[in-house]
Amino acid sequence: MTDLPVEFEHVLGIRRLPHSALSIDDVLAQNGIPRTMVQVYLVQGEALTPVPSWTPLSEIAEDVERILVRAVRNTLFETVLPWSEAAALPGGIGSGFLGLDIDTEGRAVPRGTVLDEEAAKTLVSKQVSSFLAEHYVAHHGCVFGVSGGGDSNALAFGLAAVLPPDRLTAFTLVFRDVMTRAAADRATVLCQELGIDHRVYTEDEITGLLGLSTSVNELYSDFRGAFGQEALHFFGTFLILRSARIIGREKNFSDLAFGYNREDLLAELLFMLMNGRAPLPYPVRRIGEQRIIMPVWRAPKLLLDACHPTFSLENYRERDPHTTRQRSLAFYLGHSLDSTYPNFGLSLLEGSSQAFAGHFGKLTHHPELNVFVTEDANPERIQRVADVLRRHFPEESA
């Protein structure tokens, strides 16, 4: 049915998506042609009239003979875009992943793969196993936070398949909308099934774990006053990392694993570069005597979600809309890379890790505040953080 509605569900609601060719831009998008790579002309006899690509087809005069879309680069499109006829993409139950092959005539042809939960888990486990062996994680011992969402759930499965139980421990924080009780329950179910040592910390228990002289709610109230409501997720990241560091020291484990996926790191890379900063090290990031490790850094987010698709959907439906415009833009662009051309994002990450080897941004421990700061953390920014933390971590102001 051509009039079948398409609904787009996201944190601000549900939007019905139009899906017919209403403009020249729609035609370009349907054929994978970037709008900045062409000039559009209306042809009337010998006359060529340039028009913007967003021109609605309904507004083009009847005496226009044709629309000419001229590429502005000497690009061999048939070698890049899958225009040639090929076998139909496979159907089936699971998550779909698009790739490109080159046929005997050098033309690009699409290749589709559908992965069910078990196939996705197998792929993720192989990636995690290879990473853990390469970086000697079993020797260091590993702490990781599990949120009940796709990334950390898939990471949990991969870690449990490789590490001995006595070298692995998991934790989940419960705090407001950013880390919900329902998410913690999903994490508990998963960890029990995998035989992982797991602890859930309520808000009062987080207060005790972090050694706060006030409460986690009061800390957040100050944080929100200093940095705004839209910074809630950054506060959540602070809580998780601080907790992981403490639990790691208690367990004598020096590796802190996080489910950073391909698009997470692409978003961070783009954010740092567009703000004139060197990216931070990945997939291993040292913070003092401990390491942040990213075993699934090569995996696209959809692959991790495919390991537990129902849990992932529940997690997304609990998400709140608090974030920043630049963070939204960075994730949008990060996901656009592989969407525009399969695996281009991974190539960019691998190339950047080589290009910045030895030149990544540095993290320096601030002993008074017990935080790690980047090179562009000027005295004014540090003071803003200090003003918040000193009211809640008095032992660190000495």
Q: How far apart are CA 349 and CA 328, in angstroms?
A: 19
Q: What is the mean pLDDT of residues 132-154?
A: 90
Percent of the residues in the chain that have a pLDDT greater than 90, as a whole number? 58
Place domain 117-356 in its CATH homologous superfamily.
Answer: HUPs (3.40.50.620)
Which of 188, 284, 176 shows the shortest CA–CA distance to 223?
176
Block residue for tokens 């046929």: 103
The letter for the amino acid at 194 is L
Which two structure tokens, joined as six digits, stand for 92?
């089936």
| Percent of the residues in the chain that have a pLDDT greater than 70, as a whole number | 97
DSSP letter (8 states) at residue 175: B
User: Residue 109: is it exposed, middle or buried by C-beta count within 10 angstroms (0-12/13-18/19+)?
Assistant: middle
Residue 230 and residue 200 in contact, taking contact as beta carbons nearer than 8 Å: no
Cα–Cα distance measured from residue 256 to residue 241, given in angstroms and rounded to the nearest whole number: 8
pLDDT tens string 324-343: 788 889 999 999 999 999 99
Mean pLDDT to the nearest integer, 234-243: 90
pLDDT per position as a tens digit, 75-128: 989 999 888 777 788 888 899 999 999 998 899 999 999 999 999 999 999 999
* Average pLDDT for 279-302: 96
Position 326 scores a pLDDT of 85
Domain boundaries defined on the chain? 1-75, 77-114, 117-356
Residue written as token pair 């017919």: 20
CA 140 to chain CA mean position, Å: 26
Instruction: Please provide the average confidence, as pLDDT, over all residues in the chain.
Output: 89
**Residues linked to residue 13 through DSSP beta bridges, in sequence order:** 10
Helices and strands (H and E) in the chain: how many: 15, 15
Q: What is the pLDDT of residue 352?
A: 97
Q: Give pLDDT, residue 1.
A: 45
Dihedral-angle region of residue 288 (phi above 0 means left; psi in -120 to 50 means alpha; beta otherwise) = left
Output DSSP code: residue 254. -
